[in-house]
């Protein structure tokens, strides 16, 4: 007979999960899935009002988990430390971290009117810092808490751009490649130096329409797909963009005991994009 650990792997009752960038489209759906499974969720976001709106929505659905909103800047150690202290006061411990903060910026994107050579350094740095340092810094602070407890799960959000860099977005592609590499490095480091019960993995979403990429994929006037958006659909065997809930199965699996012997991997959730050669 199989133990309850494997027959009910997605019962997160009593588990506390921190989600950075938690007010974003994809992260708010992850939060909803986790709260529904009983988890206590801390929505960390630079925009506290948006984070509180997510929490209000979470508290309105039938669920056993709790949720709180905490203002935090993932690029500032002091800010993340203060957020962690607030979470510990509320929940007592942190069992999981989803590094969801990230995004692209139009100023760091090439276009017919703006070549690679014209991209401003401050825009490139903004994208690189948010995606890579915005993953490393929370992992340092919350990872230290996990190291003291000898257990925990960190789930990073990489991108399909880390597998195949896309045209027009050099900073975002490079930063997400860094997130994938850092995921592997941290997985080894935590397991060897602190505890094999601390796991670090990542998901690599394919193409989901978010506020950061909407301007690239759809025409703001008509709502129709741009040439780039149509090209993505043509190269995605499933023939559609992802929906936020498409990430839930992989997220719950990687945070749960069902993946207890899995660390250091980056899982594509992409409708087959990474498997398709185009022919």
pLDDT at 1: 39
Is 194 an active-site residue?
A: no
How far apart are alpha carbons 253 and 272 in whole angstroms?
19
H/E element holding 123?
A: helix 121-128
DSSP string for residues in 145-162: HHHHHT-EEEEEE--GGG
Count the Cβ atoms, other than its own, within 10 Å of residue 7.
9
pLDDT at 122: 98
Instruction: Give CA separation, 266 vs 74, 177, 200, 241, in Å.
Output: 22, 11, 10, 20
Cβ neighbours of residue 152 closer than 8 Å, sequence gap 6 or more: 94, 95, 96, 97, 142, 143, 145, 146, 197, 198, 199
Q: Is residue 212 part of a domain?
A: no
Q: Which one from 10, 46, 172, 194 is the annotated catalytic residue?
A: 172
pTM of the predicted model as reported, rounded to 2 decimal places: 0.93
pLDDT at 228: 85
Q: Is residue 138 part of a domain?
A: yes
H/E element holding 44?
A: strand 40-45
Tens-level pLDDT at each residue, the chain (279 residues): 344 555 578 999 999 999 999 999 999 999 999 999 999 999 999 999 999 999 999 999 887 789 999 999 999 999 999 999 999 999 999 999 999 999 999 999 999 999 999 999 999 999 999 999 999 999 999 999 999 999 999 999 999 999 989 899 999 999 999 999 999 999 999 999 999 999 999 999 999 877 767 777 888 888 888 888 888 889 999 999 999 999 999 999 999 999 999 999 999 999 999 999 888
User: How many domains does the chain divide into?
Assistant: 1
pLDDT at 63: 74
Instruction: Give CA separation, 238 vs 24, 232, 267, in Å.
Output: 24, 11, 17
Q: Is residue 211 part of a domain?
A: no
Q: Which domain holds residue 26?
A: 13-206+242-270
Kindly report the CATH number assigned to the domain that includes residue 148: 3.40.50.720
Q: Is residue 59 part of a domain?
A: yes
Q: Is residue 4 part of a domain?
A: no
pLDDT at 89: 98
């Amino acid at each position: 007979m199989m133990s309850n650990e494997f027959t009910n792997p997605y019962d997160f009752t009593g588990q506390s999960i921190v989600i950075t960038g938690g007010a974003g489209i994809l992260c708010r759906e992850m939060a909803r899935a986790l709260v529904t499974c009983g988890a206590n969720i801390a929505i960390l976001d630079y925009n506290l009002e948006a984070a509180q709106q997510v929490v209000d929505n979470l508290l309105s659905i039938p669920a056993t988990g709790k949720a709180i909103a905490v203002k935090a800047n993932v690029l500032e150690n002091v800010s993340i430390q203060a957020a962690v202290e607030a979470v510990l006061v509320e929940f007592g411990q942190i069992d999981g971290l989803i590094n969801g903060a990230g995004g692209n910026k139009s100023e760091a994107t090439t276009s017919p009117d703006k070549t690679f050579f014209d991209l401003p350094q401050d825009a490139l740095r903004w994208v690189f810092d948010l995606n890579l340092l915005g993953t490393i810094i929370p992992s340092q602070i919350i990872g230290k808490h996990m190291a003291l407890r000898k257990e925990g799960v960190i789930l990073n959000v990489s991108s399909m751009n880390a597998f195949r860099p896309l045209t027009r977005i050099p900073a975002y592609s490079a930063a997400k490649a860094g997130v994938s590499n850092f995921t592997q490095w941290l997985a080894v480091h935590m397991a060897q130096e602190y505890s094999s019960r601390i796991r670090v993995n990542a998901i690599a979403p394919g193409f989901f329409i978010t506020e950061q990429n909407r301007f690239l994929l759809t025409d703001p006037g008509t709502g129709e797909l741009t040439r780039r958006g149509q090209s993505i659909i043509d190269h995605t065997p499933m023939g559609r963009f992802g929906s936020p809930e498409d990430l839930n199965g992989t997220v719950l699996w990687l945070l749960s005991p069902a993946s207890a012997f899995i660390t250091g991997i980056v899982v594509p959730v992409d409708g087959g994009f990474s498997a398709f050669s185009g022919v």
